[in-house]
Homo-oligomer: A and B are copies of this chain.
Amino acid sequence: MLVLYHFWLSPFARKIRLALAEKGVPFELRLEREVERRPEFLALNPAGEVPVLVDEDETVVADSAAICEYLEETRPDLPLLGATAAQRAETRRLVGWFDGKFNREVTENLVGEKLMKRLNSQGYPHAPAIRAGLANIHYHLDYIAYLAERRTWLAGDDFSLADIAAGAHLSTVDYLGDVPWDEHPEARLWYARIKSRPSFRALLADSVPGAPPPPHYANLDF
């Protein structure tokens, strides 16, 4: 069986968990504490970061973008990128938006500061970063609403890796209760559709030791 190394609330590992579940590929999840810098893990990924996937033939794939492309190539049923080169480009652009821009402007400022620093014993949250994250998220929720009003799913007619990447990041911020859903009803409608997919169930059952999620986190009617 495939093995996926992850860490609590890593949005990049969540993206892979969702992609594997959407493709119907069973996998074993292993918790990796990156800060421990375990030699066996560094041998799998010299960058020392989750997610890392180990395939059944022992092929090791590190870097979440590389893992997604690898899964599309080796498990082409139920494609998550799109049918044409132009559609795949649009899907990848949006994955890049959430994994790059959203991660830098929102996820790292909120989940990184408020939770990861504590879990990794890396000091105290930086208040200006948290304020920036809480301000930036509105702009991203507006963009999700803009896309969701014009398309069935974020990248076009079909559910895709763009929805998965966006859902992975938002789910980690939602775990903190920091997504202002009330002010963004269109984005909430899109997220409710994502959240009710079977692939999301395992994420909603997650609980970080010492930091349980708020009640609405796993509620499909939030």
Contacts and interface: CB of A to CB of B under 8 A. Distances in A.
A69 to B, nearest CB: 6
Interface string A189-207: 0000000000000000000
A88 interface: yes
Interface stretch (A14-22, A27-35, A90-98): A90-98
> Number of contact residues on A: which range applies?
20 to 34
Nearest to A70: B89
Interface stretch (A59-67, A113-121, A124-132, A174-182): A59-67
Which secondary structure dominates where chain A touches chain B? helix
A140 to B, nearest CB: 11
B92 A63 contact: yes
A47 interface: yes
A86 interface: yes
Contact of A96 (B66, B89, B95): B66
A85 B70 contact: yes
Number of copies: 2
A12 B57 CA distance: 33
Given A69-B69, A101-B47, A85 B74 contact: yes
A59 B89 contact: yes
Among A65, A67, A89, the one with the most B-chain Cβ atoms within 10 Å of its Cβ is A89
Contacts of A63: 92-93, 96-97, 100
Interface of A: 45-47, 59, 61-63, 65-67, 69-70, 73-74, 85-86, 88-89, 92-93, 95-97, 100-101, 143
